[in-house]
Homo-oligomer: A and B are copies of this chain.
Amino acid sequence: MAPTKKGVLERLNAGEVVIGDGGFVFALEKRGYVKAGPWTPEAAATHPESVRQLHREFLRAGANVMQTFTFYASDDKLVNRGQKLAFTGQQINEAACDLAKEVANEGDALVAGGICQTPSYLSCKSESEVKAIFKKQVDVFVKKNVDFLIAEYFEHVEEAEWAVQVLKATGKPVAACLCIGPEGDLNSVSPGDCAVRLVKAGAQIVGVNCHFDPMTCVEAVRLMKEGVERAGLKAHYMCQPLAFHTPDCNRQGFIDLPEFPFGLEPRILTRWDMHKYAREAYKVGIRFIGGCCGFEPYHIRAVAEELAAERGILPPASEKHDLWGKGLEMHTKPWVRARSRRDYWETLKPASGRPDCPSMSHPEGWGVTKGHADLIQHAEATSAQEIQHLLQMQKKAKSSA
């Protein structure tokens, strides 16, 4: 069946909307299969049923793309800080490809092989060393013949360029996403300049993923688009943001929020927030619209429902929803039936039920970047002494804020 599918560039060139999937590491952390901290995807090999089921849910929600669950599946990352895994990087990457392909073929979805930033880069390894790391994963993607490739979650545009160059060599379509907001990458390269560099490196689709809430990400992609057009270049645009509200973030995104990663619940977007995201992304000219950390299947469904007219189709899971809460017409309580309408949900300001909590947080702003001693990778577990050192750093960072 796969050969008859339209490729990602054909779809985008034809003006179609391509719906991405949601974030696997956060969803599977909540389901019990990913550890927050290393965030590695060994569950593809150890618990394939959990990964397969999540793929299916996103497919059912309307996703046209099954990203292989290969985030942080680079060999250098898998051994970080005392982690010992029963599977090799190659085995994990292969298992992930098989699962993505199996489910993609249950519908009209494409398989995208994904790579992301590496501890090697943060530890100041050379370009060729970093590229060799990427190459190992890409070899699997080529062997498994995925439909296209995504380089995503890069904080430094330089590393993303290297990744795009490696991906480009395969001949497959290449998408590239930085995890930046409107302020630019960690070296203050603006979104527009980042995008131009990624396009010049060979990416046909550019955008951002993770680190910021949908509206912030859409604005960053809009700036990318402006930059590309100003440079007289051409590209397609994609956006895969967080499903968390982050109005209080600094340049480093939600990693710096005090709630990351175990206290983010009150920030989770509602499905109605997702309608606004999908509409805004569409307006700005983004046509590859998906999600990252925090996106559950119902969030992707909301994106697909908002763009149902443009796409000419509702996702399968809408049989269990009906647009704008119309399914509530079947609720027992009459006041809940009275909510089965768009204007109710569109204007609701949801309370947090947390009157002892503030609305905004102060992100940590340690200001350490690539090359700083505390960022260098090592294979041993974190020691108690190291933690003491970090607590002192934190105190210093807070008092100077």
Residues of A at the B interface (CB closer than 8 Å) are 29-39, 49-50, 53, 56-57, 60-61, 80-83, 119, 122, 213, 244-248, 255-272, 296-298, 301, 316-317, 319-322, 325, 327-338, 340-341, 345, 348-362, 364, 366, 368, 374-375, 377, 381-382, 386-387, 390-391, 393-394, 397
Contacts and interface: CB of A to CB of B under 8 A. Distances in A.
Number of copies: 4
Contacts of A246: 353
Nearest to A80: B330
Nearest to A260: B336
B35 A330 contact: yes
Contacts of A265: 265-266, 268-270, 350
A331 B341 CA distance: 39
Given A260-B336, A327-B35, A335-B390, A354 B119 contact: no
Contacts of A244: 353
A31 B351 CA distance: 23
Contacts of A29: 298, 320
Contact of A50 (B53, B331, B382, B397): B53
A345 B265 CA distance: 13
A349 B356 contact: yes
Which of A122, A334, A336, A360 has the most CB atoms of chain B within a 10 A radius of its CB? A334
B364 A354 contact: no
Given A37-B328, A262-B270, 13 more contacts: A37-B327, A50-B57, A248-B355, A256-B335, A267-B354, A332-B377, A335-B366, A337-B382, A338-B393, A351-B359, A354-B359, A356-B360, A359-B360
Contacts of A335: 256, 364, 366, 390, 393-394, 397
A391 B271 CA distance: 23
A35 B321 contact: yes
A346 to B, nearest CB: 11
From A53, A297, A362, residue with most partner B Cβ within 10 Å: A53
A207 B208 CA distance: 41
